[in-house]
Amino acid sequence: MRGMTKSLADPHTSFFSPGEAQKFLEGLRGTSLPGGIGIIFGVDEKSKFAVVHEVIENSPALRGGLLAKDLITAVDGVSTKGMDVDKISSSIRGEADSPVRLTIVRRGGQPFDVTFVRKPVRVGSVRSSVMDDIGYVRLRYFGEDTNREIDACFAKFDAANVKAYVLDMRGNGGGYVHAAIHTVSKFLPQGKIVVSFTGRTYPTEIHVTNGSRARDLPVVVLINEYSASASEIVAGALQDHGYKVVGIKSYGKGSMQEMKWLVDGSMIKITRARWFTPLHHPVDGVGITPNIKVEQDETSEEDVQLERALQEAGR
């Protein structure tokens, strides 16, 4: 089965053993992982190694000194080059209190090894705060609990009487489509097109907003080169409906995968269709181009992308 999926030459179609399948789903459930180190990561487009997007608070990764933008070039001596995110994630996770050795390259320096002890980690999909009367939403991924977490943060924003929203999806590698649709629905009236799917053996399917709109306020979307899949659905939908997108062109994963379970508990994740923005723009291999391009200086502590998004939202 692993050989058959590899023969399709599709980086998003893959086979998972029963153990790998359970680890993959744990990452989307948003529950406490039995054993992890506490990072959000993706695949660096240039080097093809894993790259850290965010280090979670109170985690082994934070205590071990891991930083955003660190490259993870190997896990327990096995190279991550060319490996997809799901497989890397499965190799990093394991039993609580067990060790995992990562090989790190920091800002073009020499590789060095760090050994972490896995611990139960709770990585919520949504983090929010109020910044100068602006409701800031950090969406890490689109998981099973995202809809509930999104509703909770907007209730908080209503209580604070915010004047605008900033939706930060930098480093968001995607997740469940229904969570992306619910997120878009917070900003648009009911019945507006969010995304359409079309495949060779997949009928054209159009998804619209579900009527859960929050207050009608300005919103600015933040993306970068690691924003992919469901986060691109959200960015593309809001951009097509007239909202500003700030940052760097997104990854360009405009395809939809379906999970097929096998009798022994293993799973195949297989590409079924490509998707298009409300104005029917393709995204696969193209990405979402921001209205306002802002580069982030990797050597600077200042988050110029967020500062520009807050500036645009406050206009």
- Residues known to be catalytic: 229, 240, 253
Distance CA 2, CA 300 (A): 42
In 81-138, which ranges are continuous DSSP H helix? 85-92
Distance CA 256, CA 62 (A): 33
The alpha carbon of residue 52 and the mean position of all alpha carbons in its chain are separated, in whole angstroms, by: 12
What 8-state DSSP symbol labels residue 163? S
Distance CA 12, CA 216 (A): 36
Strand partners, 202: 199
Distance CA 169, CA 226 (A): 9
Q: How far apart are the first and last CA of the chain?
A: 54
Decide: residue 284, CB within 10 A, 0-12 exposed, 13-18 middle, 19+ buried.
Answer: middle
311: alpha, beta or left, given left = phi > 0 and alpha = psi -120 to 50?
alpha
Distance CA 238, CA 250 (A): 14
For the chain, give the longest Cα–Cα distance: 56
75 CB neighbour count, 10 Å cutoff: 20
Nearest to 258 by CA among 275, 277, 246, 235: 275
What 8-state DSSP symbol labels residue 142? B
Place of tokens 């393709």: 282
